């Protein structure tokens, strides 16, 4: 476990399906020792209470799947994440990971009936003012979005931290956070994801989003990436759960 002089040890649960930039993006953005597990292919870390676990925190990726799909690996990932939350391990869920975290703690995730795709302005809510994940982040900031499902209900003890005019964007429960936006995307990933929406969305919509995927527009997402730095700082100063 972390002793404040060594890099934070991260278990990365890669829920993306097939060959994707998910692991590359997280390794680039996280200044930490990252061990990746392809959960969509049935690869999982040890249970949190196992002697060999040894991680300081967990990050859960996005995915092309829906968290409510009837897939054994999704159910297993949800159970694993629920256990991590219950033990107090720092957890960060991104996009699909945000939705899975919500479902794991008893919330609901439903189809939006549309896509939120492209650069969007995220608005922080009053509960985020002193939240460590958003330390130093402006009250309005830009991030890339790509999702057709959304968190529609959360238990009453959850802090809702951010939103757009379409969907809830961030929440916290205990030492766990979910963010619907993608702080880890680089310019190439934003283009790759958008191109892969052809067939799901009409070409005119895809082309319109691609026109906005420019170096100048992407530079505006710098504030969003601070959540990784803040998450690692939180993980480094958070004691391991009792019994480790």
pLDDT in tens, 127-166: 999 999 999 999 999 999 999 999 999 998 899 999 999 9
- In this predicted structure, the answer to whether residue 190 has a pLDDT above a threshold of 90 is yes
Strand partners, 198: 201
* Helix, strand, coil percentages in the chain from 3-state DSSP, rounded to 5: 35, 25, 40
- In this predicted structure, the answer to whether residue 243 has a pLDDT above a threshold of 60 is no
Instruction: Find all residues with CB under 8 Å of 236, minimum gap 6, and list them.
Output: 2, 4, 8, 56
Q: Where are the domains of the chain?
A: 9-187+222-237
- CATH code, 9-187+222-237: 3.40.50.880
Q: What percent of the chain has pLDDT over 90?
A: 91
- Active site residue ranges: 95, 182, 184
Q: What pLDDT, on a 0 to 100 scale, did the predictor assign at position 241?
A: 61
- pTM (global) more than 0.85: yes
Q: What pLDDT, on a 0 to 100 scale, did the predictor assign at position 1?
A: 44
- Return the SS3 of 182: strand
User: 93 phi and psi, to 5 degrees?
Assistant: -105, 130
Instruction: Find all residues with CB under 8 Å of 106, minimum gap 6, and list them.
Output: 155
Q: What pLDDT, on a 0 to 100 scale, did the predictor assign at position 4?
A: 46
Give per-residue pLDDT as tens, 61-98.
Answer: 999 999 999 999 999 999 999 999 999 999 999 999 99
């Amino acid at each position: 476990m972390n002793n404040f002089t060594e890099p934070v040890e991260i278990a990365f649960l890669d829920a993306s399906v097939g060959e994707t930039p998910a692991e590359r993006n997280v390794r680039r953005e996280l200044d930490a020792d990252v061990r990746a597990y392809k959960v969509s292919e049935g690869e999982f870390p040890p249970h949190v209470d196992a002697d060999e676990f040894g991680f300081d925190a967990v990050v859960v990726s996005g995915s092309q799947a829906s968290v409510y799909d009837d897939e054994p690996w999704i159910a297993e990932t949800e159970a694993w994440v629920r256990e991590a939350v219950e033990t107090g391990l720092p957890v960060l869920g991104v996009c699909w990971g945000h939705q899975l975290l919500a479902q794991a703690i008893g919330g609901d995730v439903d189809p939006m009936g549309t896509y939120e795709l492209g650069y969007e302005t995220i608005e922080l809510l009053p509960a985020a003012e002193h939240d460590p994940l958003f330390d130093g982040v402006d009250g309005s900031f830009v991030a890339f979005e790509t999702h057709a499902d959304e968190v529609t209900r959360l238990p009453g003890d959850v802090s809702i931290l951010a939103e757009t005019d379409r969907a809830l964007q961030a929440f916290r429960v205990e030492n766990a956070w979910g963010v619907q936006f993608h702080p880890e995307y680089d310019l190439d990933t934003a283009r790759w994801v958008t191109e892969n929406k052809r067939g799901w969305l009409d070409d005119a919509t895809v082309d319109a989003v691609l026109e906005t995927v420019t170096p100048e527009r992407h530079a505006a997402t710098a504030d969003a990436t601070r959540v990784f730095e803040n998450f690692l700082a939180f993980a480094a100063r958070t004691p391991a759960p009792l019994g480790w």
